[in-house]
Structure 1
Amino acid sequence: MAAKEMNDRADDAQLEALGYTASFDRKMSLWANFALGFTYLSPVVGVYTLFGFALATGGAPMFWSYLLVGIGQFLVCLVFAEIVSQYPIAGGVYPWARRLIGDRWGWMTGWIYLWALATTVAAVAMGAGPYLAALVGFEPSPFVNTVTAMLIIAGSTLFNLAGTRVLARVAMMGFLCELGGALAVGAWLLIFGREQSLSVLFDTVSVVGEGSYLPAFLAAGLAGIFQYYGFEACGDVAEEVPNPSRAIPRAMRLTIYIGGAAAMFVCLALILAVKDIGAVIAGQDTDPVWTVLTTNFGEGGARVVLLVVLVSFLSCVLSLQAAASRLMFSFARDGMLPASKVLVRLSSAHVPSVALIICGIVPAIIALGGYFLSNAIAVVVSFAAVGIYIAFQMVVFAAIVARLRGWKPSGPFNLAGWGVPVTFLAFAYGVSAIINLAWPRLPDANWYENYAVILTSVVVVVAGLIVLPFMRTGAVRAAVAGQ
């Protein structure tokens, strides 16, 4: 106990040196912190949700997008690990970018990320609807999706309000359930349900004939791009983790290692278990995941798998909401939001309760919009992934600028001489991914649907620039860039 108290004092002293007083309970272990990142990344949610689209668009070779995107995001992860090791501050991307460049850049980074998180919570919660419908035998519909989203968001909010210890336990349970389910289902499919040889992973002819496969691969690669974020959530709760400068960089890397490997394993198992990939590409089998599950496990067994999937959706939303609330708390602590004095208050469970409730209400409103304004909400939700990627690259760019100004990472986790090339490669990857996400691919759709990603991004950025001057007038402390 004495050693723990000494370590907690050292962590609090480090935080005070960065200009803040300890407010949270440091009750989240390394493995619980990793579980938070893993359930945010959620290989089951990511793969199951986009598998049909990716396979229909790019065929079996779309599998390699998971590997390529994983490498690119691992570079970003390393940059973040260096930064959080020096600045273990709640809120993640906002305080990191603010320390590296300054107030305005940090605020805009946090603003974009906050809205991206809100739309992602709504998108993930609504995405659980078809799985709940299949589980209980309902017909999938916008109404079912909306009701499911409301239930998941409400449950997530209650768990988060219960405190850091409950958050850590639920995240760990979600991790064990998701990883165990992914490994069990994947192993069964590979051993008993295999229909394809490994050569199918290189078969591009069935997708595009003799033409170029690159456009199809880039489009299908969106599945990989949507998969690999979540490691940053480990840093969002930095003030709730003992010895964060060492623990969080490790948890971030574990999120990529284990989460990425699990996603690739699940994807590979599903691909090899699809009996007729041509039917998926031709649009004759529109739900290959359900086809594979019912073929191999029967409807009863498939529903057990769907129950695991729904637990994964809940734990994913839980982690997303926790990250968003800590970001809002971090904003408010610096006086960068209206009603900051209210938003910064912690409940008896030592969590930012008002921020948590807001981070449940806003996604719920977005999800309700999905029922009444389906086309409009599709445009809004399209911002979810690209907004996160933009915020990520704003942090990476901030690291580049800070390095050019003479900043040298001084935390326990340090890339040393590899820092500069890794940071530049991470930025190059991130910009490429953003371009791929924003690229218009629906020539027959309405213009606002075809350019939805660009449109929503511009709206969020312009709104942030309009609001920024008013927010900064209330700032209570200035960050010294690079220190």
Structure 2
Amino acid sequence: MTETTADDDAELRALGYSAQFDRNMSLWENFALGFTYLSPVVGVYSLFATAIASGGPPMIWWYGIAAIGQMIVCLTFCEVVSQFPIAGGLYPWCRRLVGKKWAWMAGWVYGWALFTSIAGVSAGAAPFVAQLFGFEATPVNSGLISIALVAISTLTNLAGTKTLARVAMFGFICEILGALVVGAILLLFHRHQPVSVILDPHGVSHGGPYFPAFMSAAIVGLFTCYGFEACGDVAEETPNPGVAIPKAMKSTIYIGMSASIFVCLALILSLPDIGAVIDGRSTTPIQDALMAAFGPIGTKAVIVVVLVSFLSCVLSLQAAASRLAYAYARDDMVVASTWLRKVSTTHHVPTNALALSGVIAAAILVLGMFFANAVATIVSFAVVGIYAGFQMVVMAALFARAKGWRPHGKFRLGGWGWPINIVGLVWGVSAIADMLQPGGGDLPWYESWGMVMTFVAVVVSGLVYMVIGRPYDRSDSPAGDAWRPRSAG
């Protein structure tokens, strides 16, 4: 055991927990975990066609807007994790800043958002697998491919923190090099549009005001710009977490969103007919652009890199979900806590929590084989749930400050703490309100309001479970001690 590791373990004991993980994830590997969770390629490739059709080329500005807004939220996270570098991220942060009940609800919402994200990203990979091997992506074979991806991710995660770190780093290298190479080739040799096109909505509002159309495209930036919090989910597996994790979180946004903007710009400028994408005549603009630029063989090579990005993203999502479930169980906050908090003595990972995350994601994907629209609505809840969980941390930080919290971690905002927290809350609530707007057009009411109903169902079910089962009362682990002595919350 190194001196740094001994100091980190001593700090963890002072926070009320004993070390059970290996601290062998370096700063760069921790960053790679956050980057592959954020995944510029997954974010851009998943929603590019939808965003162009909704908001036209100016939708690219949402990457910058989301990056600024989420960086403000990230700074709050940096300050909190620096003082409380505990596995599980959002849940233990809320526990120490407010108390058990608030933490329980934050973990419930964030946990279901992670489970549905695993399913959603896995499902997003299926069409690329179908294109790679030349078969039609039907609901059944797409579901089977997605479940296979979840199984591969689960097995990889079970191999231990070092394997997770190495695969995340490999995914980061492949993704960033692939994004740079593909983007550069498209910009240099297959450009069809001027840069000024990102200011031209191409009539997407059909003669009406453009602002509603632009707001409808916000999801493209909001969907991409999270994942940095995963760096904190593995705080007990990273040396000197109070310094390393804030650096990794901020770098995830700097590099990840810069790559997203670059990839999106390259794709927009390579489109020969943007109007065809907007009016629905071209439904696969990314595949069409890649085929025109790289041909059949080159396109397959690009798709392989894309699939590595999807797999890395699922891997990082599952790592985050399992650490959250483990942290929940360690504090006896959920049914089957004794089973869920078991850590492998060989690989030092929460094996049962990993298995649970894989099984829940697979179950959602099985439903998708038969009820595609319903599951699409459930999966779309993931983004809202993540943002809601984020804002529960921001509100927790504001609550703790009002109660007298004086951050004493290695990363501190000082006098900027209050304004950064307030602006972060305004940003996050505005983003959630935008995402919860009911869909327009000719959609039936249950699809228009599907995301709202799913979000409400998750919150209400959590409240019912919390009130009836009182899971937050089963443990005397520290709570609310950011601003007062050890308390029951």
**Structure 1 residue 204, shift from structure 2 partner:** 2.5
Amino acid at match of 2:444: N
Give the CA deviation at 1:184: 0.5
1:290 aligns with 2:269: no
**Residue 435 (structure 1) aligned with residue 402 (structure 2):** no
The alignment's TM-score, normalised by the length of structure 1, stands at 0.98
Q: Which residue of 1 aligns with 2:180?
A: 183
2:187 & 2:456 partners in 1: Cα distance? 44
2: CA distance, partners of 1:307 / 1:5: 39
Where in structure 2 are the equivalents of 1:8-157 lying within 5 Å? 8-157=5-154
Aligned CA distance change for structure 1 residues 59 and 337 (closer, same or farther; 3 Å): same
Match for residue 257 of structure 1?
Answer: 254
Q: How does 1:365-384 map to 2 (within 5 A)?
A: 365-384=363-382
Structure 1 gaps, min length 5: none
Residue pair 1:118, 1:362 contacting (<8 A) in 2 also: yes
Q: In the alignment, what sits opposite 2:303?
A: 306
The alpha carbon displacement at 1:205 in A equals 4.8
351-360 vs 460-469, which deviates more?
A: 460-469
> Is the contact between residue 45 and residue 313 of structure 1 (CA under 8 Å) also seen in structure 2?
yes
Aligned to 2:313: 316
Q: Alignment partner for residue 331 of structure 2, among 331, 334, 351?
A: 334
User: In the aligned structure 2, how far is the partner of 1:208 from the partner of 1:171?
Assistant: 41
Please, what TM-score do these two structures have when normalized by structure 2?
0.97
Counterpart of 1:400 (choices 395, 398, 401) is 398
Once the two structures are superposed, residues 51-91 of structure 1 have per-residue CA deviations (whole angstroms, 9 ceiling, x without a partner) of: 00111111111110111111001111111011000100000
8 A contact 2:202–2:275 mirrored in 1: no
1:454 deviates by 1.0
Deviations 1:333-356 (A, max 9, x none): 101111211211111200000010
Which structure 2 residue ranges, 5 or more long, are not aligned? 484-489
Deviation, 1:373, is 1.7
Shift in Å, 1:6: 1.1
Alignment deviations for residues 197-241 of structure 1 (CA, whole Å, 9 cap, x no partner): 011011125323553111111111211110000000000000000
Which of 338, 347, 360 is the equivalent residue of 1:362?
360
Residue 424 (str. 1) matches residue 422 (str. 2): yes
Partner residue in 1 for 2:477:
477
Distance 1:434 1:182 in 2: 29
Instruction: Name the amino acid aligned to 2:464.
Output: I
SS at match of 1:128: helix
Q: What are the superposed Cα offsets for residues 107-145 of structure 1, whole Å, 9 maximum, x if unpaired? A: 100000000000010011011111111110011211222
Retained in 1: the 8 A contact 2:384–2:435? yes
Identical-pair percentage: 55
Q: Distance in 2 between matches of 1:144 and 1:254?
A: 37
Is the contact between residue 379 and residue 448 of structure 1 (CA under 8 Å) also seen in structure 2? no
**Structure 2 CA distance for aligned equivalents of residues 436 and 143 of structure 1:** 33
Kept in 2, the 8 Å contact 1:127–1:145? The answer is no
SS state of the match for residue 207, structure 1? Answer: coil
CA distance in 2, matches of 1:343, 1:317: 20
- Give the conservation status (yes or no) of the 8 Å contact 2:439–2:447: no
- Which residue identity lines up with residue 21 of structure 2 in the other structure? F
Are 1:234 and 2:251 an aligned pair?
no
CA contact (8 A) 1:41 1:259 kept: yes
Match of 2:385 in 1: 387
Alignment partners' CA distance in 1, 2:478 and 2:13: 14
| 2:324 aligned partner, one-letter code | L
Paired residue type of 1:341: T
SS at structure 1 position matched to 2:369: helix
Q: Give the C-alpha shift of residue 394 in structure 1.
A: 0.6
What is the distance in 1 between the residues matched to 2:212 and 2:480? 44
Which range moves more in the overlay, 446-455 or 158-167?
446-455
Matched residue SS, 1:336: coil
Between the aligned partners of 2:297 and 2:112, the Cα distance in structure 1 is 39
Aligned pairs, number: 480
SS in 1 for 2:2: helix
Cα contact 2:16–2:478 (8 A) shared by 1? no
What value does the CA root-mean-square deviation take over the aligned residues?
1.1
CA distance in 2, matches of 1:261, 1:480: 37
Q: Determine whether 1:272 maps to 2:264.
A: no
**Residue of structure 2 in register with 1:457 after alignment:** 455
- In 2: Cα distance, 1:218 partner to 1:203 partner: 15
Measured at CA, do residues 379 and 208 of structure 1 come closer, stay the same or move farther in structure 2, by a change above 3 Å? closer
CA contact (8 A) 1:82 1:413 kept: yes
Q: Distance in 1 between matches of 2:309 and 2:202?
A: 35
